Amino acid sequence: MNTAVFCVHRDNPDPRAVKAAGAMLREGRLVAFPTETVYGLGANALDEAAVESIFRAKGRPQDNPLIVHIADAADARRYVRAVPEGAAALFKRFWPGPLTVVLPKSPAVPDIVSAGLDTVGLRMPSHPVALALIRAAGVPVAAPSANVSGRPSPTCAAHVLEDLDGKIDAVVDGGSCDIGVESTVVSLCEDEPVLLRPGRVTPEELISVLGSLRQDDAVTRETAPEAAPRAPGMKYRHYAPRARLILVRGSEQAARSRILAEARLAPGPVGVLCFDGEIDRYPGMTAISYGDRDDALSLAKRLFAALRALDQTGCRTVYARCPDDRGMGLAVYNRILKAAGFEVIDA
Ligand code: TXA
Ligand code: MG
């Protein structure tokens, strides 16, 4: 299949391109598009065959449910059994934006979207291209991140094509994503709200609206494969570069000494995923910075691109400096921990 590329302006996308891509979605085809978090691989959420083709194109396990994207918060009630007070408050405060809310689903959502669960994740993105496209499609859009399953999520159209060129009908190229890690996922299906995946919307912000929040164990710990995690996607290896990635926790000084020592024994070439200003402290290694250590948003924005770039250099072992896990840092920490398959060294 030939993958069409529609290049559009981020804030003012050409209505003809949006209309054409929207029609493709409505007709059951696969169209990747930018959101404020990462690129999504969209299909008409009401068309079972189209949704099935998402799983095929990504090589995604069948038991991992998809998020349904809408362009109007008022549409949420069509796809859930009810909108509880907490959910309404979250929509009001954080939509459009990088928050997915999981609620008991209505019969309108096909089982294949929710991977057989009786719940559905809903999100209204804020990216102007995503909103325009969903409106043009005239249907809710099921969209996982537009990467081959297990690979780092795509933060620009080139990443989408790297993984999916020839396997999907089109990509709408609206430039790079502002946030760079996927939406925060919160479930309101239990007695207490549960954080399933950290993102730009922080635990503190959720608590300010919901009053309380429990963090799912899978956010920072490896789940046993036989356990049934609340977010089924949590149990799979994620965001992984081809190299073996090892997270090194500790001060700059301690981490550097440890990395230099470990690197002598590791299968090479060896790479380092470091912070701004540290690149020349790792001589003889391919060092790539993923941002300012004191600015979680800058780390989030560049993390996945840096993981892909390290693969391009052919590194076999990569050591990564560990981000602070507070506030939005928790999202960066969670992604890099998963990319490392939970392999952590305390320096
Ligand atoms: O920012 C995002 O959320 C991006 C953009 C494209 O919107 N989408 C995204 O989708 O990250 P995906 O499929 O790559 O990740 C969705 C995560 C998975 O971990 C999945 O298991 C979880 O959300 N999820 C989806 N529906 C769920 C449900 N009903 N219950 C629990 N977890 C759910
Ligand atoms: Mg994903």
For residue range 140-156, what is the model confidence (pLDDT) as tens digits?
999 999 999 999 999 99
CA dihedral sign of residues 85, 87, 93, 96: negative
Instruction: Tell me the angle at which helices 157-164 and 296-312 cross, rounded to the nearest 10 degrees.
Output: 40
Residue 233 has pLDDT above 70, yes or no: no
What pLDDT, on the 0 to 100 scale, is given for residue 268? Answer: 81
Q: How many Cβ atoms from other residues are within 10 Å of residue 37's Cβ? A: 30
| Average pLDDT rounded to a whole number, residues 98-125 | 97
130, two tokens: 């995503």
- Atom of ligand 1 lying closest to residue 230 CA: 31
- Predicted confidence (pLDDT) per residue in 235-276, tens digit: 566 777 789 999 999 999 999 999 999 999 999 899 999 999
Residue with the smallest CA separation from ligand 1 atom 17 is 233
CA 305 to ligand 1 center in whole angstroms:
20
71 contacts: CB under 8 Å, gap ≥ 6? 124, 130, 131, 134, 135
How much of the chain exceeds pLDDT 70, in percent? 96
Query: Residue type at 338?
Result: K
Q: What mean pLDDT value characterizes the chain?
A: 95
CA distance 332 to 226: 26
| Average pLDDT rounded to a whole number, residues 106-129 | 97
Q: How far is CA 52 from the centre of its chain?
A: 20
Question: 117 CB under 6 A from ligand 1?
Answer: yes
Name the phi and psi angles at 196, rounded to 5: -95, -30
Query: Residue type at 172?
Result: V
Closest ligand to residue 300's CA: 1
| Average pLDDT rounded to a whole number, residues 4-13 | 98
Question: 144 CB under 6 A from ligand 1?
Answer: yes
Residue 227 has pLDDT above 60, yes or no: no
Question: 145 CB under 6 A from ligand 1?
Answer: yes
Residue 231 has pLDDT above 70, yes or no: no
312 contacts: CB under 8 Å, gap ≥ 6? none
Report residue 128's pLDDT band, with 50, 70 and 90 as the boundaries. very high
CA distance 71 to 69: 7
What pLDDT, on the 0 to 100 scale, is given for residue 154? Answer: 98
Question: 240 CB under 6 A from ligand 1?
Answer: no
What pLDDT, on the 0 to 100 scale, is given for residue 261? Answer: 95
Residues, Cβ < 5 Å to ion ligand 2: 145
- Atom of ligand 1 lying closest to residue 100 CA: 3
- Predicted confidence (pLDDT) per residue in 317-335, tens digit: 999 999 999 999 999 999 9
Tell me the residue length of the chain: 347
CA 107 to ligand 1 center in whole angstroms:
19
- Atom of ligand 1 lying closest to residue 119 CA: 29
CA 110 to ligand 1 center in whole angstroms:
16
Name the phi and psi angles at 213, rounded to 5: -160, 130
Question: 42 CB under 6 A from ligand 1?
Answer: no
DSSP per-residue codes, 183-240: PEEEE-SSSS-EEEE--SS-HHHHHHHHS--EE-GGGTSPPPTTS--SSGGGGS--S-
Instruction: Tell me the angle at which helices 85-94 and 203-210 cross, rounded to the nearest 10 degrees.
Output: 130
| Average pLDDT rounded to a whole number, residues 221-236 | 65
- Could you tell me if 316 and 269 are in contact, meaning their C-beta atoms sit under 8 angstroms apart? yes
Residue 161 has pLDDT above 60, yes or no: yes
Query: pTM of whole model > 0.75?
Result: yes
- Atom of ligand 1 lying closest to residue 199 CA: 1
Residue 80 is classified by DSSP as: B
- Could you tell me if 263 and 285 are in contact, meaning their C-beta atoms sit under 8 angstroms apart? yes
Closest ligand to residue 134's CA: 1
Residue with the smallest CA separation from ligand 1 atom 12 is 144
Closest ligand to residue 38's CA: 1
CA distance 4 to 40: 16
| Average pLDDT rounded to a whole number, residues 164-187 | 98
Question: 114 CB under 6 A from ligand 1?
Answer: yes
Q: How many Cβ atoms from other residues are within 10 Å of residue 53's Cβ? A: 19
Report residue 187's pLDDT band, with 50, 70 and 90 as the boundaries. very high
- Predicted confidence (pLDDT) per residue in 24-64, tens digit: 999 999 999 999 999 999 999 999 999 999 999 999 999 99
Question: 113 CB under 6 A from ligand 1?
Answer: no
Choosing from 39, 66, 67, 103 the residue with most ligand 1 atoms within 8 A of its CB, the one to mutate for a pocket test is 67
CA 145 to ligand 2 center in whole angstroms:
4
CA 46 to ligand 1 center in whole angstroms:
17
Residue 228 has pLDDT above 90, yes or no: no
| Average pLDDT rounded to a whole number, residues 93-111 | 98
Q: Is 3 exposed, middle or buried (0-12, 13-18, 19+ CB in 10 A)?
A: middle
